[in-house]
Amino acid sequence: MHASAPRAPGVAVTRPRRRIGALLLMLAVAALLAALDRALPPDLTRYRDRAAEVVDRDGIVLRAFTAADDTWRFAARADEVAPLYRAMLLAYEDKRFSRHWGVDPLAVLRAAAQAAWHGEVVSGASTITMQVARLLEPRPRTLGAKLVEMARAVQLERRFSKDEILAIYLTLAPFGGNLEGVRAAALAWFGKEPRHLTPAEAALLVALPQSPTRLRPDHDPAAARAARAKVLDRAVAAGVLAAAEAAEAAAAPLPTGRRAFPFLAPHLAERLRTGAPAAERIATTLDAGLQETAEGLLRRLAEGLDPKAGVAALVVDNASREVLAYVGSGDYFDRRRDGMVDMVRAVRSPGSTLKPLIYGLAFDRLIVHPMTVIADVPRRFGAYAPENFGGGHSGEVTVAEALQLSLNVPAVAVLDRLGPLSFDAALRRVGVTLHFDRRIGRPTLPIALGGVGLSLEELVTLYGAFSHGGRVAPLVTAPVAATPRPGAAEGEALMGAPAVWYVARALRGAPRPPGYADPQGAGDARGIAFKTGTSYGFRDAWAVGFTDRHTIGVWVGRPDGAPCLRCVGIEAAAPLLFRLFDLLPAPDDAPVTAGGPPDGVIAGGTADLPPGLRRFADAPTVARHGVAQAAGRLRIAFPVDGSVVSLGASGGAGRLATLPLRAEGGRRPLRWLINDRPLGEGDWRRGASWQPDGTGFVDVKVLDADGNVSSATVFVAARAEDGAQ
C-alpha cells in the first residue's frame, strides 16, 4: 500500500468554512431580497383604479363611469372570459405561464440566441407576469427597465396566484385609445361581455395589446386582419383551434368602430353612484331589456308633446316592490327638455292623483262607502270654492262614480270630513311627507286637488298600498340584503283590505284614454286600475295604474315648472301609462280585485248600506236651482276651523287651560274625537272641553247618533304673557 499524500495544513478546515460562508451569503442575499420585497412592494394603484359600473338584476351593464384617469378600465377575472380567449392568449403570449416563476428561462435564451444570430431583437422574452409588471409601472423600453420587470415579476409570483396575475393582465392590457382590459375592449369593439367572444373576436383581442394604436381595426383594418390571422395560426399550431375554425374566423368581418358604452337609467345610476362613491360594481333591481324599451318608447312619444315637455316613469314589481324600469327623463342629453333633471324625484303638484288615497282612508274609517250618495254641486268650504276640471256639476252621484269621474267637490267634501291634518298624518305614518307651501305651513283642503308637493317616486310608493293589502313600504332599487330588517318588506298599514278593494274596483271602471277601452266598455282586458291628474295651470300631467303584478307611474310636464301645452293627465300621461303596460307580459297581470272581495266588504247598492252610509251627511241637498242648502246639519261651532286659539295657563306648571268645544245641529248623543282619539267614554252633550298637552295643530271631530261627522283644524297657542313656550 502506498502512503497517502500528505494534506496541506489547514485544508480540512478551510473547505467547511467556505461552504458555511457561501450558505451565509445566500441567506444574507435572501434576507436582503425579502427586505426589499417588503420595502418596495409592487405598486397596484393603477389596478385598483377601475371604472365603476351599474348593472341590472342579471349583471348586465346599465351605465359605466370611467376611472379617475378617464380610462375605461373594468375588473376582469380569469373565469369571466371565454375559455377559448384564455387558451389563445396563453398560446400566443406565454405558453409556459402555468410552469414558470415569473421569468421564463427558455424564452430568455431563445430571444438572446435570435438576437445574436440576426444582430437585432427578433422576439421578446416577456412573460404575462413581466407584462403585468410593466402595466402596473410603465417605464421606457430599456435593458434596465427589463431587469426591473423581471424582478417585479418574481415578486408578483411570490405574492399572487396565477389566476390573480392573469386577472391583473385582463384588467390592464391596452386595447386602443382609453380602453384598458378585456371587458372594456369586448364591450367597446363588440358590444358584449368577454365570456361570449367568438374565435374571430377572441383572436383580435389577443392581438390588439401588441400594438394598440397601430392595430386598431378602425384605423388600419389590414394590419388588424394580419395580426388576427397570426394569432389564429398560433392557436392552430397549439391545438387550441381546428384549421377549419381558424379559416372561418380569419374571414370574419372586423369591427369598423367603437361602440358607445351602455347608458341606461342614467339618473338612477348617478343617484346610486353618489350614495356609494367607492363602490366598483353597483347592482340594481332594473331589467335592462325593459329599461331600454321604456326609454326608447318615452323618447319617441315625447316628440308629440310640448317642445319643452319632459317625461318620467317608474315600473314596479308589486310582489317585491322592486323597480324594474326607472326613466328620469325621455332623453338625458336633450337640453331643450332639461333631460338631465331627474323628474322621478322632483317635487311637483300631483293634481287629482291623491283622491284614491283620500277615498281609501274614508272607506277605511267608514266615513263613506263606494255606494254612498254624495252631491256634486257648487259649494264653499269657508273661503274655498272648488270647481270641477271641465266645469259644471253632476248633481247626486255615488262616491265610486265621483272617484271614477274625478269630481272635485265630492273629493274636497270627503277630505273635509276626513280632515287634512288626519290625512297628512296617515301618510307620514307610512313614511311619505307631503310638501306644503311654506306660507301656509299646514295641510289644507286644496291638497285634494293637488295643492301640495309630491314626487313620482313618492306617489308610486303610496299606490303600492293597493297591491299589498293597504300597507306601504319604500320602493327597492338595489337588491335587498339576505337578512332584511324584520317587517321591512310588509310596510306600514295605511288602510285595510276592504278599502283597497273598493278603490281598485272603482278605478278599474275609470274612463280609458282613446283606444284602450274594451268593446263591452268595462275598462281594458287587463283590468288596469288607474288614476290621472292634472295640476293647476297645466304644469303637470300624471297617470298611475296598477294590476295584481305591476304598478306604473308616469309624469309629463316641463321640468322648469312653466305651463305645458296639452299636458292633461288623460291625454298626455294615460296613453304612456297604457303603452308601458303593453310592454309587460299580459298573462302575468290580473286585476287586483280578482278572486272576490276580502272579509269586511259591504256589498250591494245604496239601499243595502247602514243608514249612516247611505248618504254623505255633510253633502247638501240639491235645491231646485242647484243652490246648496244645509240647515240643521251637524257642525262644530267652536273652535272655528282654521283658527288659532290662544289659551292661558291652567294653574299647573306649564299646563294650558282647557279648550271649550261646542257643536250645533245633529242628533244626540254626540261623540268628540281629538286627533282621531275619543275624548272620553260615554255620551256627550253639545258642549265639552279638552285639556291640551301642548301647543300645535289639532284635528277636532264630532259624530252624532246618525253617523254624521263635522271636523275643524285649529292651532292651539299659548298666550305670550303666560310665558309658555
Residues classed as catalytic: 93, 352
Are the beta carbons of 526 and 545 closer than 8 angstroms? no
CA–CA separation, 647 vs 302, rounded Å?
A: 56
Instruction: Name every residue whose Cβ is closer than 8 Å to that of residue 499 and which is 6 or more positions away in sequence.
Output: 360, 361, 363, 364, 470
Instruction: Name every residue whose Cβ is closer than 8 Å to that of residue 534 and which is 6 or more positions away in sequence.
Output: 351, 352, 389, 450, 540, 541, 542, 567, 568, 569
- Name the DSSP class of 381: B
Helix, strand, coil shares of the chain, percent, nearest 5, are 35, 15, 45
Quote the radius of gyration of the chain (alpha carbons, Å).
38
Q: Which amino acid is at 519?
A: P
CA–CA separation, 408 vs 393, rounded Å?
A: 9
Angle at 71 (CA atoms; ends 69, 73), nearest 5 degrees: 120
DSSP E strands, 535-655: 540-546, 550-557, 621-622, 628-629, 635-638, 644-647
| Run of H or E including 313 | strand 310-317
β-pairing, 628-629 vs 621-622, is antiparallel
End-to-end Cα, the chain, rounded Å: 124
Instruction: Name every residue whose Cβ is closer than 8 Å to that of residue 332 and which is 6 or more positions away in sequence.
Output: 263, 266, 267, 339, 340
The alpha helices in 238-330, defined as continuous H runs, are 243-250, 266-275, 288-302
Instruction: Name every residue whose Cβ is closer than 8 Å to that of residue 695 and which is 6 or more positions away in sequence.
Output: 656, 715, 716, 717, 718, 724
CA–CA separation, 434 vs 223, rounded Å?
A: 64
The alpha helices in 238-278, defined as continuous H runs, are 243-250, 266-275
Farthest-apart Cα atoms in the chain, separation: 153
β-pairing, 72-73 vs 179-180, is parallel
Q: How many CB atoms lie within 10 A of CB 85?
A: 22
CA–CA separation, 329 vs 326, rounded Å?
A: 9
Between the CA of residue 171 and those of 9, 241, 275, 510, what are the distances in Å?
64, 25, 25, 56
CA–CA separation, 463 vs 472, rounded Å?
A: 8
The alpha helices in 339-464, defined as continuous H runs, are 355-364, 399-404, 408-418, 420-429, 456-463
Bridge partners (DSSP) listed for residue 660: 689
